[in-house]
Amino acid sequence: MTALCGFADLGALVEAARTFRDLDGIAALELIDGRAGLLMAEHLGVTAPVRADWLLLVELASDHDQTQRLADALDGLQTCGEPAVGVDTAAQQRLWRVRESVSEVLGVYGPPLKFDVSLPLAVISEFARLAGQLVHRHAPDALPVLFGHIGEGNLHLNVLRCALQQEHALYAAMMGLIADCGGNVSSEHGVGSRKRAYVGMSREPADIAAMRTVKHAFDPTGYLNAAVLFD
Protein backbone atom coordinates (compact mmCIF):
# COMPACT_ATOMS: atom_id res chain seq x y z
CA MET A 1 0.00 0.00 0.00
CA THR A 2 1.19 3.50 -0.86
CA ALA A 3 0.11 6.75 0.79
CA LEU A 4 0.84 10.41 0.14
CA CYS A 5 0.54 12.57 3.26
CA GLY A 6 0.66 16.36 3.47
CA PHE A 7 2.28 18.50 6.15
CA ALA A 8 2.37 22.24 6.74
CA ASP A 9 5.56 21.95 8.77
CA LEU A 10 8.73 20.05 7.84
CA GLY A 11 9.40 19.26 11.48
CA ALA A 12 6.05 17.48 11.70
CA LEU A 13 6.90 15.50 8.58
CA VAL A 14 10.23 14.44 10.08
CA GLU A 15 8.45 13.22 13.21
CA ALA A 16 6.07 11.25 11.00
CA ALA A 17 9.05 9.75 9.19
CA ARG A 18 10.46 8.64 12.54
CA THR A 19 7.18 6.92 13.33
CA PHE A 20 6.95 5.13 10.01
CA ARG A 21 10.64 4.22 9.92
CA ASP A 22 10.22 1.99 12.96
CA LEU A 23 7.30 0.02 11.51
CA ASP A 24 7.75 -3.44 10.05
CA GLY A 25 7.29 -3.61 6.30
CA ILE A 26 8.28 -0.05 5.41
CA ALA A 27 9.49 -0.13 1.79
CA ALA A 28 9.86 3.60 1.11
CA LEU A 29 9.76 6.98 2.85
CA GLU A 30 10.14 9.84 0.39
CA LEU A 31 10.17 13.58 1.10
CA ILE A 32 8.71 15.83 -1.60
CA ASP A 33 8.96 19.61 -1.46
CA GLY A 34 5.61 21.28 -2.10
CA ARG A 35 7.38 23.76 -4.38
CA ALA A 36 8.25 20.86 -6.66
CA GLY A 37 4.58 19.91 -6.63
CA LEU A 38 3.61 23.33 -7.94
CA LEU A 39 6.24 23.14 -10.69
CA MET A 40 5.22 19.68 -11.86
CA ALA A 41 1.57 20.71 -11.98
CA GLU A 42 2.44 23.75 -14.10
CA HIS A 43 5.01 22.22 -16.43
CA LEU A 44 4.23 18.49 -16.52
CA GLY A 45 0.52 18.39 -15.84
CA VAL A 46 1.12 16.08 -12.87
CA THR A 47 -1.03 17.13 -9.93
CA ALA A 48 -0.44 15.77 -6.46
CA PRO A 49 -3.73 14.60 -4.91
CA VAL A 50 -2.66 16.24 -1.65
CA ARG A 51 -1.81 19.96 -1.50
CA ALA A 52 0.66 20.93 1.22
CA ASP A 53 4.00 22.64 1.77
CA TRP A 54 5.63 19.26 2.36
CA LEU A 55 4.65 15.78 1.21
CA LEU A 56 5.62 12.36 2.54
CA LEU A 57 5.26 9.31 0.31
CA VAL A 58 4.96 6.12 2.36
CA GLU A 59 4.97 2.58 1.05
CA LEU A 60 4.06 -0.38 3.25
CA ALA A 61 4.94 -3.80 1.85
CA SER A 62 2.73 -6.68 2.95
CA ASP A 63 0.46 -9.40 1.63
CA HIS A 64 -2.34 -8.09 3.84
CA ASP A 65 -4.43 -4.92 3.91
CA GLN A 66 -2.41 -2.17 5.62
CA THR A 67 -5.17 0.44 5.86
CA GLN A 68 -5.61 0.14 9.62
CA ARG A 69 -1.85 0.15 10.24
CA LEU A 70 -1.58 3.35 8.24
CA ALA A 71 -4.45 4.94 10.14
CA ASP A 72 -2.92 3.94 13.48
CA ALA A 73 0.49 5.34 12.49
CA LEU A 74 -1.05 8.63 11.35
CA ASP A 75 -3.10 9.03 14.50
CA GLY A 76 -1.79 12.03 16.42
CA LEU A 77 0.50 13.25 13.65
CA GLN A 78 0.12 16.81 12.38
CA THR A 79 -0.98 16.12 8.82
CA CYS A 80 -2.86 18.43 6.47
CA GLY A 81 -6.16 16.74 5.80
CA GLU A 82 -6.57 13.15 4.70
CA PRO A 83 -3.77 11.28 2.93
CA ALA A 84 -4.19 9.94 -0.58
CA VAL A 85 -4.02 6.14 -0.41
CA GLY A 86 -3.28 3.68 -3.18
CA VAL A 87 -4.07 0.01 -2.60
CA ASP A 88 -4.15 -1.40 -6.13
CA THR A 89 -1.22 -1.19 -8.54
CA ALA A 90 -2.67 1.59 -10.70
CA ALA A 91 -3.37 3.83 -7.71
CA GLN A 92 0.08 3.19 -6.30
CA GLN A 93 1.68 4.09 -9.61
CA ARG A 94 -0.24 7.38 -9.72
CA LEU A 95 1.17 8.33 -6.32
CA TRP A 96 4.70 7.29 -7.28
CA ARG A 97 4.35 9.40 -10.42
CA VAL A 98 4.34 12.46 -8.13
CA ARG A 99 7.69 11.47 -6.62
CA GLU A 100 9.24 10.51 -9.95
CA SER A 101 8.16 13.80 -11.54
CA VAL A 102 10.33 15.78 -9.14
CA SER A 103 13.50 14.83 -11.01
CA GLU A 104 11.83 15.52 -14.35
CA VAL A 105 10.82 19.07 -13.49
CA LEU A 106 14.04 20.26 -11.85
CA GLY A 107 15.59 21.26 -15.15
CA VAL A 108 12.72 23.49 -16.22
CA TYR A 109 14.87 26.61 -15.70
CA GLY A 110 18.11 25.01 -16.87
CA PRO A 111 20.60 22.82 -14.98
CA PRO A 112 20.08 23.29 -11.22
CA LEU A 113 22.82 23.59 -8.62
CA LYS A 114 22.76 20.24 -6.85
CA PHE A 115 23.65 19.20 -3.32
CA ASP A 116 23.57 15.52 -2.36
CA VAL A 117 23.79 15.27 1.41
CA SER A 118 22.99 13.10 4.41
CA LEU A 119 21.76 14.66 7.63
CA PRO A 120 20.58 13.50 11.06
CA LEU A 121 16.79 13.58 11.15
CA ALA A 122 16.87 15.92 14.14
CA VAL A 123 18.44 18.76 12.13
CA ILE A 124 16.65 18.44 8.79
CA SER A 125 13.99 21.05 9.52
CA GLU A 126 16.54 23.59 10.76
CA PHE A 127 18.84 22.81 7.85
CA ALA A 128 16.03 23.51 5.39
CA ARG A 129 15.33 26.86 7.05
CA LEU A 130 18.98 27.93 7.10
CA ALA A 131 19.59 26.64 3.58
CA GLY A 132 16.70 28.76 2.35
CA GLN A 133 18.27 31.81 3.98
CA LEU A 134 21.62 31.05 2.33
CA VAL A 135 20.01 30.72 -1.07
CA HIS A 136 18.15 34.00 -0.64
CA ARG A 137 21.36 35.75 0.45
CA HIS A 138 23.54 34.52 -2.40
CA ALA A 139 20.96 34.08 -5.18
CA PRO A 140 17.78 36.05 -4.38
CA ASP A 141 15.93 34.87 -7.50
CA ALA A 142 16.76 31.19 -7.03
CA LEU A 143 14.33 28.53 -5.87
CA PRO A 144 15.48 25.78 -3.46
CA VAL A 145 13.78 22.39 -3.76
CA LEU A 146 14.39 19.66 -1.19
CA PHE A 147 13.50 16.01 -1.68
CA GLY A 148 14.85 12.53 -1.06
CA HIS A 149 14.93 9.49 1.16
CA ILE A 150 13.84 10.96 4.47
CA GLY A 151 13.98 7.67 6.35
CA GLU A 152 17.77 7.54 6.06
CA GLY A 153 18.31 11.30 5.99
CA ASN A 154 19.69 11.12 2.43
CA LEU A 155 18.44 14.26 0.73
CA HIS A 156 18.84 16.16 -2.51
CA LEU A 157 18.77 19.95 -2.39
CA ASN A 158 18.46 21.43 -5.86
CA VAL A 159 18.68 25.18 -6.38
CA LEU A 160 16.80 26.29 -9.48
CA ARG A 161 17.34 29.59 -11.32
CA CYS A 162 20.80 30.05 -9.76
CA ALA A 163 23.01 32.16 -12.03
CA LEU A 164 26.43 30.72 -12.82
CA GLN A 165 28.24 33.65 -11.22
CA GLN A 166 26.34 33.02 -7.97
CA GLU A 167 27.09 29.31 -7.74
CA HIS A 168 30.63 29.31 -6.33
CA ALA A 169 29.92 31.39 -3.21
CA LEU A 170 26.61 29.62 -2.56
CA TYR A 171 28.20 26.19 -2.98
CA ALA A 172 30.96 26.91 -0.46
CA ALA A 173 28.52 28.42 2.04
CA MET A 174 26.13 25.47 1.72
CA MET A 175 28.92 22.97 2.29
CA GLY A 176 29.82 24.81 5.48
CA LEU A 177 26.20 24.70 6.63
CA ILE A 178 25.96 20.97 5.97
CA ALA A 179 29.08 20.37 8.06
CA ASP A 180 27.82 22.66 10.84
CA CYS A 181 24.61 20.62 10.97
CA GLY A 182 26.59 17.42 11.48
CA GLY A 183 25.84 16.15 8.00
CA ASN A 184 27.89 14.51 5.30
CA VAL A 185 28.72 16.69 2.30
CA SER A 186 28.42 13.66 0.02
CA SER A 187 25.77 10.98 0.21
CA GLU A 188 24.45 8.74 -2.57
CA HIS A 189 26.24 10.26 -5.53
CA GLY A 190 29.80 10.26 -4.26
CA VAL A 191 32.43 12.98 -4.00
CA GLY A 192 33.57 13.39 -7.57
CA SER A 193 35.78 16.36 -8.35
CA ARG A 194 33.60 19.23 -7.19
CA LYS A 195 33.31 18.10 -3.58
CA ARG A 196 36.86 16.90 -3.02
CA ALA A 197 37.89 20.18 -1.37
CA TYR A 198 35.11 19.71 1.20
CA VAL A 199 35.63 16.07 2.19
CA GLY A 200 37.54 17.14 5.30
CA MET A 201 34.40 18.85 6.59
CA SER A 202 32.72 15.52 7.28
CA ARG A 203 35.59 13.03 7.48
CA GLU A 204 38.39 12.76 10.02
CA PRO A 205 42.01 12.96 8.78
CA ALA A 206 42.47 9.28 9.63
CA ASP A 207 39.50 8.37 7.41
CA ILE A 208 40.90 10.36 4.50
CA ALA A 209 44.34 8.82 4.99
CA ALA A 210 42.80 5.34 4.88
CA MET A 211 40.95 6.19 1.67
CA ARG A 212 44.16 7.47 0.12
CA THR A 213 45.93 4.24 1.08
CA VAL A 214 43.25 2.11 -0.56
CA LYS A 215 43.25 4.33 -3.64
CA HIS A 216 47.04 4.09 -3.96
CA ALA A 217 46.97 0.31 -3.54
CA PHE A 218 44.69 -0.13 -6.54
CA ASP A 219 45.82 2.87 -8.58
CA PRO A 220 49.43 3.80 -7.68
CA THR A 221 49.85 6.11 -10.69
CA GLY A 222 46.56 7.97 -10.19
CA TYR A 223 45.43 7.06 -13.70
CA LEU A 224 41.94 5.87 -12.84
CA ASN A 225 39.40 8.66 -12.40
CA ALA A 226 42.14 11.26 -12.22
CA ALA A 227 41.29 14.27 -10.03
CA VAL A 228 38.21 12.53 -8.62
CA LEU A 229 38.06 12.43 -4.80
CA PHE A 230 41.81 13.22 -4.52
CA ASP A 231 44.07 15.63 -6.38
Residues in the chain: 231
pLDDT in tens, 145-154: 999 999 989 9
31, 121 Cβ separation under 8 angstroms: no
Q: Which of 105, 124, 159 is the last residue of a domain?
A: 105
For the chain, give the mean pLDDT.
88
Q: Clarify whether residues 74 and 31 are in a common domain.
A: yes
pLDDT in tens, 17-52: 999 988 888 899 999 999 999 999 999 999 999 999
From 186, 40, 172, 164, select the one nearest 110 (Cα to Cα). Answer: 164
pLDDT in tens, 169-194: 999 999 999 999 998 876 666 665 56
Per-residue pLDDT at 168: 93
Q: Clarify whether residues 48 and 13 are in a common domain.
A: yes
Q: Clarify whether residues 156 and 203 are in a common domain.
A: yes
pLDDT in tens, 43-74: 999 999 999 999 999 998 876 777 788 788 88
Triad 98, 144, 10: Cα angle to 5° = 70
Structural domain range at position 154: 113-218
Total number of domains constituting the chain: 2
pLDDT at 196 over 90: no
Q: Clarify whether residues 129 and 209 are in a common domain.
A: yes
